[in-house]
Amino acid sequence: MISIVDYGMGNLASVYKALKYIGYDAKITASPEDVLSSSGLIVPGVGAFGPAMEALKSKGLDEAIKEFASSGKPTMGICLGMQLFLTGSEEGAEEGKLIEGLNIIPGKVLKFPKEETVDAGLKVPQMGWNSLEDVRSDIMREGDYVYFVHSFYCLPDDPADALAKTTYGIQYAASVGRDNIIATQFHPEKSGQAGLQMLIRFARRIG
């Protein structure tokens, strides 16, 4: 069973429907016990980093997600879920500081630089379709065209943890991960056939 983590800030229904559509059992849960007993885990998310971490901690889901990820079982983060997997985020933090994340993948969540985006005529948040570059994961394919909605981007400490990139003013990590963990800044559940194929490849890891 694939568990979809409900902490009050997720695109839960679309992820659930996508998994059911491709033929995999899934459930939406806010229970740490359910998380730990799952065969696969997806942490979706839409919204702000700080309130999301507070919501996870209030339900005891932060420690459950970290324990599950360290178990070796397939673990996925989507959009804000990917950002939460990193060490910390500038979003909502005092200047020069970070709001603490789950630290599953060491790295930072940073605001798009104004000079390369807004000043260059690009809108922030990035909202729309972009293609994947420098893909180093069997879940994705080079050139996959996928859907993004976000104002902050992820910078992993280890460049090897960037499993795919895209360009929006700057080139940045569209996906991060290592071993059993994969996370996408884009929404595979909203990315048409390419996104569904990614979810199928992830689910096949579960068996």
For the chain, the structural domain boundaries read 2-206
Pick the catalytic residue: 54, 67, 79, 142? 79
Element (H, E) at 149: strand 145-150
Q: Which residues of the chain have pLDDT under 70?
A: none
pLDDT score recorded for residue 22: 96
The mean pLDDT of the chain is 97
Q: Please tell me what DSSP assigns to residue 25.
A: -
Pick the catalytic residue: 91, 150, 154, 187? 187
- Domain 2-206 is classified in which CATH homologous superfamily? Class I glutamine amidotransferase (GATase) domain (3.40.50.880)
pTM, full prediction? 0.96
Q: Strand pairing of 99-100 and 88-89?
A: antiparallel
Which residue bears the tokens 């500038």? 90
150 is catalytic: no
79 is catalytic: yes
